[in-house]
Chain A
Amino acid sequence: MIEIDQITKIYDGARAVDAVSMTVETGTITVIVGTSGSGKTTLLRMINRLVEPSSGDVRINGEATAEMSKTALRRRIGYAIQGHGLFPHYTVARNIGVVPQLLGWPAAKIAARVDELLDLFSMAPEQFRTRYPAELSGGQAQRVGVARALASRPDLLLMDEPFGALDPIIRARAQEDLRRIQRKLGSTIVLVTHDMQEAIQLGDRVAVMDAGRLVQHATPAQIITEPATEFVAEMVGGIERPLRLLSLIPACEIAQDGQIEGTPLPAQTSLRDVLAQCLASGRDAVPVLREDGTQGQVTLAAIRARAQSRA
């Protein structure tokens, strides 16, 4: 559990981050979202003390970070940034092994961990281990950057716009990968982005920053249906809000009885995708699987009713 307590950063009299408090539960993804200059990156960088707080505390599992040495603290926390930041003169294996090596792991243990992580990110170890960053595509380099941040099994993973430099298709895949790996490893992640769609898709909790203040910290559904301020509503994007809400709801939740023709969609398909299916096929209903495996259907009318019900 990460507790952020009344943390403040003042630059030349201006409050870049103003008395922010929040708690990040172990094994969850918290996404900090805001416009540029909102203080979101400063907040993130105060967690591993790349920026020293002017006042306030951060505690990791009860331990105050201010009392640890900076280097020891940072080696416990994974850190992945936009543009990956891989060392160009190190191979992929050496890049991933940086923190374990700083922590003094034996070479055989590091090599085994490198292969395990490459496998986890669907990159064949024997093919990628000896490559240099210049020989990787943007998406591969980004995956190696995240693998490097996870290498020492850190208590916490901080990610600063990790997908910012990727094109939309690769970005969507990278987001899915991150979600899958986080579920598998049970990692605790704090991720910064300016993209509300990314925040809603990835976050268990979303923290919205505006002008140095934390204006709302809630589940994605709450952010969409009950925006705390005008600013949050604007970030969610007024007219697209119903679609964003639908993207959070699995089809099985509103499936009704009824056998109709066609291959049923998986139970976890989002209502947004179901709606797209309806529009594309010109039908008023599509078949879906329910959680118990039986077949049901979702109708356009049911989707409309769900979208209007606000939560």
Chain B
Amino acid sequence: MLSRPGLLFAALGAAAIFLPFLTLAANRIVAGQGVPIWSLAQAAPGLVALVLGLALGVISRPALRLLGAALGLAGLLWLLVQGSNALLSDAGEFARVSPAAGFWCLLVVLSLLMADALGALSPGPWARAALLALTVGLVALLLRSGALSDLSIMQEYASRKSGFQTAALRHLGLAFGSLAAAALIGLPLGIACHSSARLREATLPVLSFLQTIPSLAMFGIMIPILGWIATAVPGAKAIGIAGIGFAPAFFALVLYSLLPVVANLLAGLQSTPPEAREAARGMGMTGFQRLIKVEFPLGLPVILAGLRIVLVQNIGLAVIAGLIGGGGFGTFVFQGLNQTATDLILLGTLPTVALALISAITMDILVELATPTAERTR
């Protein structure tokens, strides 16, 4: 038996092999020229691993498909390191090498193959956590080893090392800080809405309306409001309130986060089976005991799913903060857009995507751990 998704991945991967694999440009601004795999020096081992990996992906046994994906990714990495090294050695001083369409397509295809194989193996939450840690560790090792330092994006990184660290910390601060603030406001608000239908009817439309404001407009609206507060309220400036910078970005993200937090909290608390709620009341639990012992634990997976939405959404939205001086990876994206330097844009984009992926997978693991044992094992 053959794996149908595997066949699709093999076909797509085979086609991607014929696309330009790397781009060689004279400097960091001008458009480069595509280089196909077969004109790279010492391409053979990498190409063999790639083809073998895609072929293994066709087999129906998930463990072999996973092995295929790993082998393919190793081949891809070999081609990237060997190819960029060889291309640069006989090019000019300012020449830059970047991955091209072929590389990205193969990366996507192999990642999908890996995800498909993992999905079929359906590892438990702890196994997934270990896999995630292993992957992050391997990528970190690879970046530290300097094997990729010939790539254009790594050269952009090398010239902005300290700026990158500041941006990373700021981005994390924006995403996780706004999540924490939204949880601090949203959880009590959601619990209040749970017990009062009138409050619920008044609150949810307002939060839904906030969600419909386009992100750029939201950041824009924050500038005059916070600017006015900074000048009108004594002491506001001292604690960092200003029209531009971190504060407006942070507040905008908090406002966006409230709807998912409150709506999922409500859905979670209301997911308690009616008989269980009736029994809890009939056995003499107080309202608070029902909330803590029954409704909250039973709703926890849905509540955590709300926090997951917020976290992933805010990691992405925080990029826009770069536009209003809020810092974060968005700084590189908008600098890169202004300079038409694609690799600078990628320096902002790739860490954002990685951060969102890691957060999403971690939160999924937490959601599963919060689900009652019996329901999980069924």
- Considering only residues 208-258 of chain A, those with a C-beta below 8 Å from chain B are none
How many Å lie between the Cα of A86 and that of B282 in the bound state? 12
Beyond A87-B294, A132-B372, A132-B373, whether A79 also contacts B275 by CB under 8 A is no
Chain B residue at minimum C-beta to C-beta distance from A79: B282
What chain A residues lie within 8 Å of B372 (beta carbons)? 88-89, 132, 134
Q: Is A27 close to B, CB under 8 A?
A: no
What chain B residues lie within 8 Å of A79 (beta carbons)? 279, 282-283
How many pairs of residues, A versus B, come closer than 8 Å at their CB atoms? Answer: 73
Q: Is A74 close to B, CB under 8 A?
A: yes
Q: Nearest chain B CB to A44's CB is how many angstroms away?
A: 10
What chain B residues lie within 8 Å of A48 (beta carbons)? 282
Report whether B283 and A102 are in contact in the complex, using a CB–CB cutoff of 8 Å.
yes
Q: Is A279 close to B, CB under 8 A?
A: no
Q: Is A178 close to B, CB under 8 A?
A: no
For B360-378 the 0/1 string (1 means CB < 8 A from A) is: 0000000000001111001
Q: Is A71 close to B, CB under 8 A?
A: yes
Query: Which of A82, A98, A134, A135 contacts B283 (CB under 8 A)?
Result: A98
- Considering only residues 271-296 of chain B, those with a C-beta below 8 Å from chain A are 273, 275-276, 278-286, 289, 293-294
Residue among A50, A87, A88 with max Cβ neighbours from chain B (10 Å): A87
What chain B residues lie within 8 Å of A50 (beta carbons)? 278, 281-282
How many Å lie between the Cα of A145 and that of B275 in the bound state? 11
Q: How many residues in B have their beta carbons less than 8 Å from beta carbons of A?
A: 22
Residue among A73, A99, A102 with max Cβ neighbours from chain B (10 Å): A102
What chain A residues lie within 8 Å of B374 (beta carbons)? 88, 131-135
Q: Nearest chain A CB to B370's CB is how many angstroms away?
A: 10
What chain A residues lie within 8 Å of B293 (beta carbons)? 87
Q: Is A72 close to B, CB under 8 A?
A: yes
Beyond A89-B297, A132-B373, A134-B374, whether A102 also contacts B281 by CB under 8 A is no
Report whether A87 and B276 are in contact in the complex, using a CB–CB cutoff of 8 Å.
yes
For A131-152 the 0/1 string (1 means CB < 8 A from B) is: 1111100000000010011000
Report whether B285 and A81 are in contact in the complex, using a CB–CB cutoff of 8 Å.
no
Report whether A88 and B375 are in contact in the complex, using a CB–CB cutoff of 8 Å.
yes
Q: Is A9 close to B, CB under 8 A?
A: no
Report whether A134 and B378 are in contact in the complex, using a CB–CB cutoff of 8 Å.
yes
For A74-92 the 0/1 string (1 means CB < 8 A from B) is: 1100010111111111000
Report whether B284 and A88 are in contact in the complex, using a CB–CB cutoff of 8 Å.
no
For A101-116 the 0/1 string (1 means CB < 8 A from B) is: 0100000000000000
What DSSP secondary structure best describes chain B's contact surface? helix
Q: Is B298 close to A, CB under 8 A?
A: yes
Report whether A102 and B289 are in contact in the complex, using a CB–CB cutoff of 8 Å.
yes
How many Å lie between the Cα of A149 and that of B284 in the bound state? 11
Report whether A75 and B275 are in contact in the complex, using a CB–CB cutoff of 8 Å.
no
Report whether A81 and B375 are in contact in the complex, using a CB–CB cutoff of 8 Å.
no
What chain B residues lie within 8 Å of A135 (beta carbons)? 374
What chain B residues lie within 8 Å of A70 (beta carbons)? 284
For B295-317 the 0/1 string (1 means CB < 8 A from A) is: 00110000000000000000000
Chain B residue at minimum C-beta to C-beta distance from A101: B293
- Considering only residues 121-172 of chain B, those with a C-beta below 8 Å from chain A are none
What chain B residues lie within 8 Å of A149 (beta carbons)? 283
What chain A residues lie within 8 Å of B283 (beta carbons)? 74-75, 79, 98-99, 102, 148-149
Report whether B282 and A71 are in contact in the complex, using a CB–CB cutoff of 8 Å.
no
How many Å lie between the Cα of A48 and that of B273 in the bound state? 21
Q: Can you spell out 10 A-B residue pairs with CB atoms less than 8 angstroms apart?
A: A50-B281, A50-B282, A79-B282, A81-B282, A82-B275, A85-B276, A87-B294, A87-B298, A98-B283, A132-B372
The 6 residue pairs across chains A and B that have the minimum distance between CB atoms: A85-B279, A132-B374, A74-B284, A79-B282, A85-B275, A75-B284
Other A-B pairs, 19, CB within 8 Å; known A74-B282, A79-B282, A158-B282: A50-B282, A71-B284, A71-B285, A79-B279, A81-B275, A81-B279, A84-B279, A86-B276, A86-B279, A87-B276, A87-B279, A87-B294, A87-B298, A98-B283, A99-B284, A132-B373, A132-B374, A134-B374, A134-B378
